[in-house]
Amino acid sequence: MKAVKIINSEAVLAEVEPPNIGDLDLLVKVGFAGINAADLLQIAGHYRAPQGTPQDLLGLEYSGMVVGQGAKVPTQFNGKKVMGIASGAAQAEYIAIRFDQVIALPNDFDLLQAGAIPEAFITAYDAIFTQGNFAIGKRILITGATGGVGSAAVTLAVTAGGIVFGTSRNDRAKQFVHDLGAHAIAPDQISQYAPYDTVIELIGGESFPTTLPSLASGGTIVTIGISGNPAIELDLRLLMQKRATIRGSTLRSRDLAEKAEIAAQFSREILPLFISGKIKPVVDSVYSANEVRLAYHKFANEPKTGKLLLRFSE
């Protein structure tokens, strides 16, 4: 089968062995797979896949159709549409994944839209509500609000009834954030609109000198992405004065039981909003798997609003 493989520090579509499925696994024919910042980190050698996952195959999310299942899978999945996050190797024609890690979809759900949901919305959901202690009516700041995770975080926070602020650097991006229902502000305006009960941090160290002083007393900063400097200088006196909580979060390294619980929670609480059409993912662009080099170049070097997807099948 064809999959996106790291060859000479570059993402390349290559021929690889198809995955073997275990007794509790599903074999999914991938329709769409998203590109994420973690893929760039893996290419650069800074983000190893968990043990047992190929280190040279890329992809952390997918949507597709189940075409096979292991002997001990308790439910019939064959022929069903699914989506989900993976430990790796999702940018491929087929992926093997444990049955309790998938999110089952209605038969009429658009796989292209589904491909833009898992990593961005599950990450944002976990960061905002589980890690960030966010609640209706609270003030929340999302730095780097125009990417896949950022726009998902804005969408979920707005839907949950928050007072939402999202940072962006140019007028087109600000309009995008505004259209999602948030207050679009420039990074140098963060302190002007403070305080914030929760900050979802997607930029990195350069934001902290502004976001920590702008945090409300007892507030929480959740770091789920780093597009800039990963290092910070932290004033512990200010941390104490604010009674602040600073958390970091990733999904990839969590154990299977925790991933299964997150998938189940998301299916119960958030998936119905997509099915009803109340919320929708934002797709920036879609590339054929054969255009993988062009897609990765766009992701790494050009501005984007929403998710960038690779298409492996319809």
| Domain extents in the chain | 2-117+252-311, 120-248
Provide the 3-class DSSP secondary structure of residue 247: strand
What are the contacts of 210-214 at 24+ separation with CB within 8 A?
Answer: 211/141, 211/143, 212/238, 212/239, 212/242, 212/244, 212/246, 213/238, 214/141, 214/190
| CATH of range 120-248; options 3.30.429.10, 3.40.50.720, 3.40.50.1110, 2.40.10.220 | 3.40.50.720
pLDDT of the chain, 314 residues: tens digit per residue: 999 999 999 999 999 999 999 999 999 999 999 999 899 999 999 888 888 899 999 999 999 999 999 999 999 999 999 999 999 999 999 999 999 999 999 999 999 999 999 999 999 999 999 888 898 999 999 998 988 899 999 999 999 999 999 998 888 889 999 999 999 999 999 999 999 999 999 987 778 888 999 999 999 999 988 776 777 788 889 889 999 999 988 888 888 899 999 999 999 999 999 999 999 999 999 999 999 999 999 999 988 888 999 999 97
Strand 139-142 and strand 245-248: the pairing is unpaired
| Cα–Cα distance, 201 to 246 (Å, whole number) | 10
* Fold category of 2-117+252-311 in CATH: Quinone Oxidoreductase; Chain A, domain 1 (3.90.180)
DSSP H helices, the chain, are: 37-43, 111-115, 123-125, 148-159, 171-179, 208-211, 236-242, 256-269, 271-276, 292-301
Please state, in angstroms and rounded to a whole number, the distance separating the CA atoms of residues 111 and 314.
Answer: 8
Q: How many CA atoms lie within 13 A of 120 on its CB side?
A: 31
Task: Quote the CA–CA distance of 18 and 47 in Å, as a whole number.
Answer: 23
Cβ atoms of residues 166 and 154 within 8 Å: yes
- 54 burial type by CB count under 10 A (0-12 exposed, 13-18 middle, 19+ buried): middle
